[in-house]
Structures are given as structure tokens and as C-alpha cells.
Amino acid sequence: MDIAPPPITATTAPPPQIEVAALTKLYGDFTAVNDLSFSVRPGEVIGLVGPNGAGKTTTLRCLAGIIPPTSGAVRICGFDLARQPIEAKRRLAFFSDEPRLFDYLTVSQHLTFIARIYGVAGYEETGRRLLEELEIADKADKLPVELSRGMKQKLAIACGLLHAPSVIFFDEPLTGLDPIGIRRMKDSILKRARDGAAILISSHLLHLLEEVCSHVLILKAGRKVFDGSLAEVRERFSEQAGGGNLEDAFFRATGETKGEE
């Protein structure tokens, strides 16, 4: 297995595709996300990690335009999500941990519907290719209720990728996938990054993030604890300089204890 994070060259860094400035989200008195700022450039895959309740999913939903932030700004490909939501949303895709599908639309009808929403000309060919790539081409006339959990996830992915988004958000992308599906998902993430997409992945699977991410953003209680490259996080939070893994770094960064230790 030679999956490697895409190379990042600091000298020719293009402008960020995702820019987050002082993002804050309150639920009544509870602060879910507190003054969060970071950016993601094309080709970067950033892993969003943190303990339960750290604000990862809330952050992703704010960035995808599903829930409005209480304060702060989000720019997607240079478009302000609050002021130019249509332009910003045209360029992003969000994959939730649970595939969100319309019960009464078939696989192919999902693609037709999404193509009209995003105005994807020639979607038939792109859609066919995506379904083949995701190995659900033979399920084109099936309803979601007739699909397994993994197939539903693949359909959600096909819908999300149909308009070739420049910014992709994943919330626990490997939930419910079999080993082959996991491998394909990793390959797919890296391929999109190589094609220039900016990707943000929220996951508790630190080994996955270690395999696909170029950067890590660690949250705790809604606040940013660390934001940097994998090498930087290892260097800063590992006992051995330059050694250790993301798991060790995570425990040190969040101040958690590791099971029996």
C-alpha cells in the first residue's frame, strides 16, 4: 500500500480555498465553536480532530452553509459564505457521516436532480463514470431503501462529486464502509486533492488521517489547540523529537490520558 499525502510546496502556495476567520457558534449559553481561524489551500487535506463535543461537526456544518455561524466569516474559493452563499455553495460538497438521500428518488434520478440544482452540463457521462468508479453502476434504477449502507454512502459521494467541487468536507467518511470501500475512499480523497481540491476531514480514526492528511487541526471544547502540518504536530507534541505518531500527539495536545496508561 503506497498511499501518500499529496506533496505541498510552500514556495508556490496558491491562495486558500477555505478561509475561516474568528468563527464562533453558540447554542444558547453553550459555545460549540469559539473564535476559530484557519485556512486550507488547494491540494491540502486537513484532518479535523478532537474529543467528542469538541465542535468538529458544528464547524463542518457552518463551513458547508447548513447552519449559520453566530459570528466570524467563512470564504469558499474567495466567496463569502454569508454574502455570496450561492457562489460559495456551487464550489463545495459536504459528506455527512450518515448518507442523506431522498427516499423516493432512484440512484440515477438523484444524479439528474443534483445536475439541475448545480447546472452540470453533460452530467450523464460524468455520472456514469462516477457510478462505475464507485461500483454502483448496476444499481442505477434502485431506490435508497434497496441499497446497503455502504452503497448509500457511495451514492451520496457520487452526488457530491458530480459538480466537481473545489472544496470538500467529510464528516467521518469511513463509517459503514467495508475494507475495499475504505481503500477506495482513501484513494478518492487523495485523487481529489491531487486534482486541486481543498479537503477537510473530520474523523476519530487517527490512522486514516495520518495516511491521507497533509495537515491537522486539533479542536478541544470548541477552541483550536493546534493547526499545522503532520510533521509539525508530531514535532510539537511527541515525546521523541521527530518521532511518535498522530495518536500520541493527539493525546498530548488535548491533555487526554490514553486508556490504561
Partner 1 sequence: MIAGALFYYQFHSWRNRLLTRVRRLRQPKYLAGAIVGGLYFYFYLFRGFTRGHRPPSATTLPLSPEMNDLPQTLAALVFMFMLLMAWILPHSRAALAFTEAEVAFLFPAPISRKTLIHFKLLKSQTAILFSALLMTLIGRGWGGGHLLTRALGWWAAFSVLNLHLLGSSFALTMLMDRGISTWKRRVLILGAAVAAVAGIFIWTRHSLPPFPTVSDQGGFAWLFRYIGRVFASGPLPYLLMPFRLVVAPYFAASYTKFLITLAPVLGIIWLHYLWVIHSNVAFEEASVEFSRKLAERIAAARVGNLRGARRPKKAARPPFVLRPAGHPAVAVFWKNLISAGQYVTARVWLMLVWIVVVSGALLQSNWAFGGGGFGTVVIFFVGMLLAMSLFYGPQVLRNDLRQDLPVADVLKMFPMPGWQIVLGEVLTPAAMLAGAQWLLILFGAIFFPQQFEKHTVPLALRLSVALSAVVVLPFIDLLALLIPNASVLFFPAWFQLGKDAPRGFETMGQQLILMFGQLLVLLLGLAPAGGAFALLLWGGSFVHWPLLGLMLGAFAAAMILAIEVAVGIMLLGGVFERFDVSGELLV
CB of 116 to partner 1, least distance (A): 4
Whether 219 contacts 190, CB under 8 Å = no
Q: Which long-range contacts (CB under 8 A, 24 or more apart) does 24-29 make?
A: 24/69, 24/70, 24/71, 24/72, 25/55, 25/58, 25/59, 25/62, 25/67, 25/69, 25/70, 25/222, 26/70
Q: Binding to partner 1 (CB under 8 A): which residues in 54-93? A: 58, 61, 64-68, 85-90, 92
CB of 124 to partner 1, least distance (A): 9
28-52: b (≥16 Cβ within 10 Å) or e: eeebbbbebebbbbbbbbbbbbbbe
Give backbone dihedrals phi and psi of 41, rounded to 5 degrees, phi first: -95, 165
CB of 162 to partner 1, least distance (A): 10
The reply on whether position 153 binds partner 1 by CB under 8 A is no
Q: Could you say which of 1, 29, 52, 121 contacts partner 1 (CB under 8 A)? A: 121
CB of 121 to partner 1, least distance (A): 6
Residue span 93-112 as binding mask against partner 1, x where in contact by CB under 8 A, dash where not: -x-x---x-xxxxx--x--x
CA–CA separation, 74 and 18 (whole Å)? 7
For 90, the grid coordinates are: 456551487
Nearer Cβ to partner 1, position 25 or 220? 25
CB of 101 to partner 1, least distance (A): 8
The reply on whether position 120 binds partner 1 by CB under 8 A is yes
For 66, the grid coordinates are: 447548513
Q: Determine which helix (DSSP H) or strand (DSSP E) holds 252, and give its type and residue range.
A: helix 246-254
Nearer Cβ to partner 1, position 121 or 241? 121
Q: Is 22 helix (H, G, I), strand (E, B) or coil?
A: strand
Interacting span for partner 1 (CB under 8 A) from 15-23, 33-41, 142-150, 178-186: 142-150
Interacting span for partner 1 (CB under 8 A) from 120-128, 190-198, 240-248, 252-260: 120-128
85 Cα distance to chain centroid: 19
Q: Which residues contact 33 (CB under 8 A, 6 or more apart)?
A: 23, 24, 25, 55, 58, 59, 62, 69, 219, 222
The reply on whether position 180 binds partner 1 by CB under 8 A is no
Residue among 61, 76, 50 at smallest CA distance from 25: 61
Only one residue has cell 470548541, namely 222
Say how many residues touch partner 1, by CB under 8 A. Answer: 40
Nearer Cβ to partner 1, position 122 or 242? 122
CB of 28 to partner 1, least distance (A): 9
Q: Could you say which of 5, 20, 123, 237 contacts partner 1 (CB under 8 A)? A: 123
Residues near partner 1 (CB under 8 A) are 25, 27, 58, 61, 64-68, 85-90, 92, 94, 96, 100, 102-106, 109, 112-113, 115-123, 141-143, 145
